[in-house]
Amino acid sequence: MKIKVIVTLKNGVLDPQGKAIQQTLNGMNFGNVEDVRQGKYFEIEVKEKDEKKAKSLVDDMCKKLLANLVIEDYKIV
């Protein structure tokens, strides 16, 4: 079963790359871009048929490795 995870920076944490992307978009005449936050996306193939179990396993992975909870939030989608 494939589980998808999105990791993003927490609100309030400076995202210099997002800022650079926003400024570039503004410079390309996408003037209405007010903010960009960059994140990470994972597709994790788990050998598990039960979706609830698989997601709970991935949740544990997020806490232990995939996200650093000091600055990042994660969402299992």
Partner 1 sequence: MRSSVIIFPGSNCDRDMDVALKKFGFKNQMVWHNDQSIPKSDLIVLPGGFSYGDYLRCGSIASKSKIIKSVIDFANSGGLVLGICNGFQILTETGLLNGILQQNKFLNFICSNVYVKVKDKQNKYFKDLKKDVLELHIAHNEGNYFCSEDELKLLEDNNQIAVTYCGKDGTENETSNPNGAIKNIAGIFNKNKNVLGMMPHPERMIDKYLSGEDGSLFFKNILDNFK
Nearest CB to partner 1, comparing residues 19 and 55: 19
Give the Cα separation of 56 and 39 in Å (integer).
21
Is residue 44 a contact partner of residue 76, using CB atoms and an 8 Å limit? Answer: no
Tell the smallest beta-carbon distance from residue 57 to partner 1 (Å).
Answer: 16
Interface residues with partner 1 (CB under 8 A) are 13-14, 16-17, 20, 65-66, 68, 70-71
Is residue 37 a contact partner of residue 8, using CB atoms and an 8 Å limit? Answer: yes
Nearest CB to partner 1, comparing residues 24 and 50: 24
Tell the smallest beta-carbon distance from residue 66 to partner 1 (Å).
Answer: 7
Nearest CB to partner 1, comparing residues 49 and 65: 65
Tell the smallest beta-carbon distance from residue 67 to partner 1 (Å).
Answer: 9
